[in-house]
Amino acid sequence: MGDPPTRSPAVNTLLILGGHGDLATRYLLPAAAELIDAGLFPARLRIVAVDRAEIDTADYRDHVVDELRQHAPHLPERTRAELCSRLDYRPGSATEAGDLRAAVAGLDGAIAVYLALPNAVFHDTIASLGEVGLPPGSRLVVEKPFGVDQADAQQLNALIRQEFSEDHVFRIDHVLGEQIVLDVLGLRFGNRLFESAWTAEHIESVDIVFDETIALEGRAGYYDHAGALRDMIQNHLLQMLAVVAMEPPTELNERELRDRKADVLRAVRPPEPARMREASRRARYSAGRSPDGSAVPAYVDEPDVDADRATETYAEVTFSIHNVRWAGVPFRLRTGKALGADRREIVVRFRPPNHQPFDNRGAVEQLRFTMGPDSIRFDVNLNGAGDPAELQSQAFVADVGEQRLPSYSRLLREVVAGDTTLSVRGDEAEECWRIVEPVLAAWTAGEVPLEEYPAGSDGPGAR
């Protein structure tokens, strides 16, 4: 296997391309402020934001303070002030080499370049960065979606490799920074009871669910071209599947963990064409009400939505894993918007004992990992209070508490440290597209009908 990769040299600048956009001001800069507040942001590190808005640094800092007060109100004023003292703003286009050259002029040492940009301009931006020529040890950080299909992801990887080595590339998937996802590793590999039972012999099914009560929220420009399958299952949920199903790593280092995830993804198979309608489901929300009682328009009536695209806001697919450990175990991945409850969890359901002398066959033994608030619940079967031949399900719940760092702060810390353990490797991104493309093709061809569900409901009804 070889030794783990050598860590990159320290970076002196975080360069955010698209620094005036929602991703930067709603997530990245609050993440940096969280690190500053926790004493985890290197004193040497400055932040340079680049965007098309013709404003100066003072205006930009005022804008950032307003955003921090909205998205990170718990942070003290001194933390906001320290973040702003490190911020510079330089107007320019991320796709123009001349603007980028001006943006990096005078910056010393290695740079971490964060593409807080639409996926459509990744190719041009990376090509322009190549023309500029960044200092040795510089890093590239890209957000999902990584490409629009497998061929595009392959082309993007090839372009990145011309300018950056793989251990200097961070493909961000924020779910890998969630503490509860990392807790899956601890529970699996740190406990003999669960590791010995983590096989098809003992596990009946695995559900990975990411339901949201929020509707479109003005994101039609991106979402109406993506849909739930591309937006969530192709990246976030398949990464969660890889963490749940991976083989034991020999060590907890970046190469071992990513190798084991890649092994699983290569073994994942989409539904067979003849079973696509049975094993996958797509739907979009109609008019209804959110859990707080407010009216939600039908998806097709949301601003800037093209109803003819038949974009799904709900996606459900059952995958299989072709290896010895998981033969015959269905992995059901589900996500949707404008649903009746936020539900973000991994549910591992165990098979009943081979010999069951009890009357109640409906009792369930399962592990449930829940995000926000984070908890681990173990449902086991015990004798009922009355009839000793009857089983009742009892829950043991571990409240794992608030994670020490939000996921974006955790991932940004890894970028600054040069640790790619929690980022997605290039081959993983390509495999994720391979897995979903047959489903996308079947849906595009109309082989799976587009259903509807009222906003605020549990999703499409039973079929």
Q: Which CATH number fits domain 176-404+425-454: 3.30.230.10, 3.30.565.10, 3.30.360.10, 3.40.50.300?
A: 3.30.360.10
pLDDT of residue 1: 35
pLDDT of residue 4: 43
Q: How far apart are CA 122 and CA 361, in angstroms?
A: 54
Distances from the Cα of 222 to the Cαs of 119, 266, 385, in angstroms?
9, 28, 54
Yes or no: say if 290 and 455 are a contact pair by the CB < 8 Å rule: yes
Strand, helix or coil for residue 313? coil
Strand, helix or coil for residue 236? helix
Yes or no: say if 320 and 330 are a contact pair by the CB < 8 Å rule: yes
Our answer to whether residue 322 is catalytic in this structure is no
Q: Checking DSSP bridges between strand 46-51 and strand 11-17, what pairing results, if any? A: parallel
pLDDT of residue 364: 82
Strand, helix or coil for residue 204? strand
Strand, helix or coil for residue 219? coil
Other CB atoms within a 10 A radius of the CB of residue 381 amount to: 18
Dihedral of alpha carbons 354, 358, 361, 363, sign: negative
Pick from 296, 284, 325, 319: which is nearest to 431 by CA? 319
What tokens does 343 get?
């539900």
Residues for the chain: how many in total? 463
What tokens does 206 get?
């695995």
pLDDT of residue 406: 87
Give bridge partners of residue 424 from the DSSP assignment.
171
Yes or no: say if 451 and 458 are a contact pair by the CB < 8 Å rule: no
Q: Checking DSSP bridges between strand 366-370 and strand 343-350, what pairing results, if any? A: antiparallel
Distances from the Cα of 235 to the Cαs of 173, 242, 270, 333, in angstroms?
7, 11, 15, 11
- Which positions of the chain have pLDDT values less than 70? 1-9, 359-362, 384-386, 401-403, 463
Pick from 285, 307, 116: which is nearest to 213 by CA? 285
Pick from 438, 412, 425: which is nearest to 153 by CA? 425
What is the 3-class SS of 361-414, one letter each residue? CCCCCEEEEECCCCEEEEEEEEECCCCCCCEEEEEEEEECCCCCCCHHHHHHHH
Secondary structure element (H or E) that encloses residue 344, with its range: strand 343-350
pLDDT of residue 241: 98
Q: How far apart are CA 358 and CA 387, in angstroms?
A: 10
Cα 277 off chain centre by: 26
Q: How far apart are CA 71 and CA 330, in angstroms?
A: 38
| Residue of 20, 168, 174, 236 marked active site | 236
Q: 11-143 has which CATH code? A: 3.40.50.720
Yes or no: say if 456 and 291 are a contact pair by the CB < 8 Å rule: yes
Q: How far apart are CA 308 and CA 357, in angstroms?
A: 56
Residue spans per domain, the chain: 11-143, 176-404+425-454
